[in-house]
Amino acid sequence: MKTVLQDLRPGRSVSLATYSEMAADPDPWDALMANALTTHPHYSRHVMEAHRRAGLAAADLTFIVVQGRLGLEALLPFAWKRDVSGLGTRIARPFLSPFITQTSPLVADAPDLPDILDLLVKGLQSASKGRIWRWPLLPTETKLGRGLLEAMDRAGWKRGIASRFERPIVERRGSYAGFLDEHPHRSRMKDLSRRHRNLSKRGTLSHDIATGGDRLNDAVAGFLRLEKAGWKGRAGTALASRPQHEAFARALFTGADGPVRVRADSLLLDGRPLSISLALVASGTATLLKTTFEENERSSAPGLLLEARIIEALYGTGFAERLDSATLAGSVLENLYPDRETICEIVAAPSGAARMITVEQRIRLISMERRAMVRVKRALGRR
């Protein structure tokens, strides 16, 4: 049973719902994803279902849900976390897993977007019981990101930016030739062309694309083997190193039946995979999940060669309008993907929240924690 937080009938209401309640009525969820301003797939039914099946999300995971006259208009899964920004007490944040790289809510592309966002922000405040929100991986310069922050401002929230970085993306232009002509790192593109030619001298170099059936299953299985055979396998961070993560990958790339499509790209040399990339395609955007490569071929940069072929396919087949690298700061794709999207972590205090310390002081605590973690990692690395 959904818990109504604000009821504005006959117009709109904002409620809390569990994952089980959301999954019991999947069509509105799929319809919202298909009509969302958001270009990321992470809070779609398909991806959240894969989290649930792998044990990475609980059946009682809570969603903030905005309902309107035409159906579901916004949703955001969230959870509680003890955090330094809350002085060790629980704060609210959007649902995160190791595979979620953007946390924009799903919001319908509607002409009265500000009204929807105003109600969503009321839901955020009620759901968190007025406590602090720590919100990572939010694109703040998109229409949705700006609109969400403006809605917080209208509601009297205090907010600040704890960190930011520029994520590499590719916005599809008129032609591939134009893309190459305008590329800010032409030397990188020429270097990749040279590496491609050198590899081609050793055998037949091909780009295989799998979107379903046995070919997709084989590509996912090949990805798991290839990644585990490399340094991530030795470090225990490969998908196949952790049962939940492997289960997530297999659930994610099996039976996509909604607005989110799955895709595996492989760079093959005489049929042998040198690199495999897994991605999700929704709302005109292909979002990378993970890429792996044959370490013995590292000098040929097979991972980057595959990414370059994916960009070429973007123009050749038009499978998307946009590529999202889904990376953090310092990605090797920064010289390959020429466009950028600003990704921020914000700290936001609802109107009326306890003011033991300011948002600015909370952000300083986050910065101190980050610096301490860096020092610990460096110390451990020297052992």
How many residues in the chain?
383
pLDDT tens for 163-206 read 999 999 999 988 999 999 999 999 999 999 999 999 999 999 99
Strands 90-94, 106-107: pairing kind: unpaired
pLDDT for 304 beyond 80: yes
- How far lies 209's CA from each of 50, 88, 113, 222, 340, in Å? 22, 47, 37, 13, 26
Other Cβ atoms less than 10 A from the Cβ of 293: the count is 23
Q: Rounded to the nearest 5 degrees, what angle is found at the Cα of 263, between the Cα atoms of 271 and 19? A: 140
Going by the DSSP 8-state scheme, the letter that residue 105 receives in this structure is: P
What residue type is 230 in one-letter code?
G
From residue 232, give the alpha-carbon distance in Å to each of 239, 368, 378. 9, 29, 19
For residues 351 and 156, is the Cβ–Cβ distance under 8 A?
Answer: yes
Among the residue ranges 31-35, 265-269, 306-310, 351-355, the one predicted with the least confidence is: 351-355
Q: How confident is the model at residue 1 (pLDDT cuts 50, 70, 90)?
A: very low
pTM of this structure = 0.92
Q: Output the average pLDDT for the chain.
A: 93
**Averaged pLDDT, 43-58:** 96
- Confidence bin at 257 (pLDDT 50/70/90): confident
CB 163 within 8 A of CB 345: yes
Pairing between β-strand 106-107 and β-strand 272-282 as defined by DSSP bridges: unpaired
